[in-house]
């Protein structure tokens, strides 16, 4: 009788393990199918005193800084390009924008930097804009 109980227990544990394994595979497949990778985007750094309606048709700002240029405000936008045509990759555009940001910060002409939260797509853009925000808050010359 004890042998039968042990055999039934082993069979139940094996069946439970198999069911748990199959369930985890089903969940993993559903997550994989639900994930839609973002299309490869191109980026640019756009400097202008005012972002126009025409600009909005081809550019999506994800970061904006403003600085004083000869006592008048100038804005620099880190933008995702709609209908990209050989612009920069995110990291490249971020580095160009960061150079402008550090120069304005170190010269004391930086008025503000802000991230356009509603325009961000994906963790890469979030990470870059977080780095830019931190750089804007640093004291001039502190690297």
pLDDT digits (tens, 9 = 90+) for 95-112: 999 999 999 988 888 889
Residue 130: CB atoms within 10 A of its CB come to 11
Q: Is the pLDDT of residue 76 over 90?
A: yes
pTM of the model: 0.66
Q: Does residue 141 come out as left (phi exceeding 0), alpha (psi in the -120 to 50 range) or beta? A: left
Model pLDDT, residue 84: 64
Least confident of 28-32, 38-42, 81-85: 38-42
d(CA 128, CA 51): 22
pLDDT bin (cut points 50, 70, 90) of residue 120 is: confident
Those residues with Cβ within 8 angstroms of residue 125's Cβ, 6 or more apart along the chain or in another chain: 62, 80, 90
Confidence of residue 31 (pLDDT cuts 50, 70, 90): confident
The 10 Å Cβ neighbour count of residue 102 is 17
CA angle 43, 48, 49 (to 5 degrees): 145
Give the confidence band of 34 by pLDDT, cuts at 50, 70, 90. low
Determine the pLDDT at residue 85. 64
Q: Residue 141's pLDDT band (boundaries 50, 70, 90)?
A: low
Tell me if 136 sits within 8 A of 113, measured CB to CB.
Answer: yes
């Amino acid at each position: 009788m004890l042998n039968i109980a042990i055999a039934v227990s082993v069979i139940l544990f094996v069946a439970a393990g198999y069911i748990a394994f199959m369930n985890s595979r089903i969940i993993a497949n559903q997550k994989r199918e639900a994930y839609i990778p973002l299309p490869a985007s191109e980026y640019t750094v756009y400097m202008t005193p005012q972002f126009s309606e025409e600009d909005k048709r081809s550019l999506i700002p994800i970061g904006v800084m403003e600085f004083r240029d000869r006592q008048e405000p100038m804005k620099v936008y880190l933008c995702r390009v709609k209908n990209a045509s050989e612009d920069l990759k995110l990291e490249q555009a971020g580095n160009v924008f960061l150079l402008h940001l550090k120069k304005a910060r170190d010269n004391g002409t930086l008025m503000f930097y802000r991230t356009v939260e509603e325009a961000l797509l994906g963790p890469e853009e979030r990470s870059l804009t977080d780095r830019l925000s931190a750089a804007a808050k640093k004291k001039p010359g502190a690297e």
